[in-house]
Amino acid sequence: MGLFSRKPKEEKESNGMPWIELKSVQQFHDIYNTPSDKLKVFFKHSTRCSISSMALRNFQAEWNINNDCADLYFLDLIAFRDISNEIAAVTGVAHQSPQAIVLKDKQVKYHESHSHIDAVEIQKL
């Protein structure tokens, strides 16, 4: 079994985190266009990269799982690079890996990559 285990509604959970797996460009557009009071956190992860794995572990360790301020979306870049390209086109944030992009009301509120990804800072937004 991999880093994640299957959950209903396309959710993945690791370290108690309710990741929602992104699997299509249409799904991204649906999420992007749906109003929400919560932040929309997109974590782009390369499953073949040790730096990306380290960034993901650090993010999960820092995230307060009791904090209900955001919906967390997980993107496997190896399987779904087209979704990453679409996120870059829609948000204007150039693709990187690993990368976290946070949206609120269709506006980019935060974006960082590699070791600069900071879950604590995102939760302050």
Residue 1 has which token pair?
Answer: 């079994």
Over the stretch 26-78, which tens digit does the pLDDT of each residue have? 999 999 999 999 999 999 999 999 999 999 999 999 998 887 899 999 999 99
Cβ–Cβ < 8 Å for 103, 42 = yes
Distance CA 55, CA 97 (A): 10
Residue of 25, 53, 28 lying closest to 42 (CA atoms): 28
Over the stretch 74-116, which tens digit does the pLDDT of each residue have? 999 999 999 999 999 999 999 999 999 999 999 999 999 999 9
Query: Global pTM?
Result: 0.87
Can you list the domains of the chain with their CATH numbers? 7-124 (3.40.30.10)
Residue 68 has which token pair?
Answer: 């209900």
